[in-house]
Amino acid sequence: MLQAEADVASAKQAFQEAQADPGSSPEDVQVALYEYKAAIVALQDLKDGTPGKFHRSLEIEGAKAYLAQAQMELQVLYNTSGVDQGDIAQAEARVARWQERLAELKAS
């Protein structure tokens, strides 16, 4: 329980920092918000005696946030000259993984 409470506090701080940081993209803020919400839900599940409970709508929200972040990072790489093709390939793979995960969640 203490670890879950610490996770909530840490996620809240990360979310607030992302909001306050002018260098954070909207996608970064959305990911931080999802992680904060997920920590709150995990703590509540623990209190309810249902640790690890699956929350489809929350997982979809998270997949959308991570996908948007991955797409933004890929776009930055596409728009940056001299970027290693391996970095682009890894970013494309991240986008594909999040697209697949989102499709899986929506289908379940």
> Domain boundary residue among 9, 37, 53?
53
- pLDDT of amino acid 50: 95
Same domain, 65 and 88: yes
Each residue's pLDDT expressed in tens, for the chain with a length of 108 residues = 899 999 999 999 999 999 999 999 999 999 999 999 999 999 999 999 999 999 999 999 999 999 999 999 999 999 999 999 999 999 999 999 999 999 999 998
Q: Which domain holds residue 63?
A: 55-108
Same domain, 47 and 1: yes
Same domain, 99 and 62: yes
Same domain, 108 and 76: yes
Q: How many domains does the chain have?
A: 2
- pLDDT of amino acid 41: 98
pTM of the model: 0.90
| DSSP helix, strand, coil percent of the chain (3-state; round to 5) | 80, 0, 20
Same domain, 27 and 65: no
E strand segments, 7-96: none
- pLDDT of amino acid 25: 95
- Quote the CA–CA distance of 76 and 64 in Å, as a whole number: 18
> Domain boundary residue among 9, 33, 53?
53
Contacts of 25 (CB under 8 A, 6+ apart): 69, 72
Same domain, 75 and 94: yes
Same domain, 73 and 47: no
Estimate to the nearest angstrom the gap between the alpha carbon of 38 and the chain centroid: 10
- pLDDT of amino acid 6: 97
